[in-house]
Chain A
């Protein structure tokens, strides 16, 4: 949950920073266009003139070496080790953790993990959980933000502040009462329970104030003329939402989607509580549970399989990830 909380923390930092951002949408566009040059061309403390000194030039080379070594070791190292250990026999991993396959590669680990400890099933469960969480979060965030930002009924202000207020409540306060709500949802009779139902994971994740604020802020900065023009042309609220507002909001929908899928993939404590049946549990819950009855090499193969999708998503959508993570820095606090 640290990392869970810290994801939330970085989201909050992002929020705190964008709160003071003037004209976020226009800025976002400009930054996007400026992105490439921004990464490589902006100047920092050391100027071109400084670089002409030999001492400084050598120090900068030292910085490069330091960064490459530390980041490859700390960032890539553990993942590469996991990839290696996933196809190494247990005894080799235990006796010579850094030797590269002294007794050959054991590809069977992967298939054993996939078939015999049912990683396939848990993998599928994880995907279902992530997909549902994504769909519900997007539905609630877009319709909610549309109400607050574009439709703007009289109660929008009260509603908006009630949603915002939940950001300041530490999630730990929700744990027990939310669990009891799942065990016995209100108004649905004593025997009805959401335990072992994926809705128990999807719906609480959809009550995410950060998403709503992020999308609302984006909607707030959409050009009003386009919206007014569509209204004059007779577009109703549904058409305006579906054909005008949503297509113009693809960048922010991408950010929310990445947050939603990654959060669902990472979640541990909540699915552990509300999905007690192993048959419906995701990887994050099953991996610690199967550890004691699984041989180390197969277990490491299972860990590697569980990491593949998030890493692949990161490599494909790297810019969305880093932009979402760095949202906070767009403006200094």
Chain B
């Protein structure tokens, strides 16, 4: 009972070699540190410190002139009392939901079809990936031209071919968000297709062979071999897409600037407005408070998601 934990462990392990600064230098410690230094420096200044500072700033009032003052939860209260917050959250949820309905099944379907064709996978993958290569800003500005609301606009002309009346696209509060989602889906689908395709191509051929020995039809093979083999990738891609759409910024910012009538204001656009588009000077406290809330929400969401899917994939 009198033996302290320290003595007990000292008895079990050989006494550790004394490492003074001199042995450290002679052992190459300085050279190692020189290699580690670029990483340590950029991560400290541009990643770890800003993350910590984000939390600190959310309970401070910060401007660029006076030293920051502690204000408790005032920033959070101010954000929660902002009438636009509800709109922004609902819009973001709407975007995420539309993007799931539209953008999630299409890449899976395309990848399955592409994995089935005997020839031309290379050229199909290249074509599918092309939109991903177009710089996002160019893509949005180009689609803005496509969405021209006049009857001679690119999409309206195409609708005219099949006898549909011209649509207002970005100019109507009802259609603005779906228009954004269609462009975002077009821009991102290629990347998902390539990931699913690679997953499909690594399904062991023996599984299909075995299913055939048991007399499985094409549909049964798809349902009992392909789907279970893809399940892991689908789970990961689903949460990644939700995390990405929760942070949607470029499309609403460049297409509509949040309009018409605030129909496309998203959470990230609101953060941007608090910090950088404020006539009263940047309200950095409110911006960081909202970012911290969003980050905590996303962290909880992914945590719950992984617990849930883990249970599904093990049972």
List residues of chain B with CB within 8 A of the CB of A266: 135-137
Cβ A146 vs Cβ B127 within 8 A: no
Contacts known (A241-B35, A284-B137); A162 close to B201, Cβ less than 8 A: no
Cβ A176 vs Cβ B284 within 8 A: yes
Q: Which of A96, A159, A203, A265 contacts B152 (CB 8 A)?
A: A96
Cβ A63 vs Cβ B146 within 8 A: no
**Cβ of A24 under 8 Å from chain B:** no
Contacts known (A17-B233, A75-B128, A178-B50); A151 close to B32, Cβ less than 8 A: yes
Cβ B191 vs Cβ A140 within 8 A: no
List residues of chain B with CB within 8 A of the CB of A50: 218
List residues of chain A with CB within 8 A of the CB of B287: 175-176
Cβ B136 vs Cβ A325 within 8 A: no
List residues of chain A with CB within 8 A of the CB of B212: 47, 49
List residues of chain B with CB within 8 A of the CB of A327: 198
List residues of chain A with CB within 8 A of the CB of B51: 166, 169, 173-174, 177
**Cβ of A180 under 8 Å from chain B:** yes
In B111-126, the 8 Å CB interface with A consists of 112-122, 124-126
Q: Which of A3, A162, A329 contacts B132 (CB 8 A)?
A: A3
Q: Which of A10, A39, A209, A268 contacts B136 (CB 8 A)?
A: A268
Q: Which of B117, B141, B221, B244 contacts A6 (CB 8 A)?
A: B244
Q: Which of A2, A42, A178, A332 contacts B184 (CB 8 A)?
A: A2
- How far does the Cβ of A114 sit from chain B's closest Cβ, in whole Å? 16
Cβ B31 vs Cβ A237 within 8 A: yes
Number of B residues with CB within 8 Å of any CB on chain A = 122
**Cβ of B149 under 8 Å from chain A:** no
Cβ B236 vs Cβ A237 within 8 A: no
**Cβ of B259 under 8 Å from chain A:** no
In A1-58, the 8 Å CB interface with B consists of 1-10, 12-14, 16-17, 38-40, 42-47, 49-50, 56
CA distance A331 to B186 in the complex (A): 26
Cβ A185 vs Cβ B45 within 8 A: yes
**Cβ of A293 under 8 Å from chain B:** no
CA distance A143 to B115 in the complex (A): 39
Cβ B201 vs Cβ A45 within 8 A: no
List residues of chain B with CB within 8 A of the CB of A296: 145
- How far does the Cβ of A70 sit from chain B's closest Cβ, in whole Å? 8
**Cβ of B15 under 8 Å from chain A:** no
A residues touching B (Cβ–Cβ < 8 Å)?
1-10, 12-14, 16-17, 38-40, 42-47, 49-50, 56, 60, 63-64, 66-68, 70-72, 74-76, 78-79, 81-82, 85, 94-98, 136, 139-140, 143-144, 146-147, 151, 153, 155, 159, 162-163, 166, 168-181, 183-186, 203-204, 206-207, 209, 212, 236-238, 241, 262, 265-266, 268-269, 273, 283-285, 287-288, 291, 296, 299-300, 303, 306-307, 310-311, 313-314, 318, 321-322, 325-333
| CB pairs A–B below 8 angstroms (16 shown) | A1-B248, A5-B248, A6-B188, A44-B226, A94-B148, A151-B32, A172-B268, A172-B271, A174-B51, A179-B275, A180-B284, A203-B45, A303-B141, A311-B130, A322-B129, A329-B196
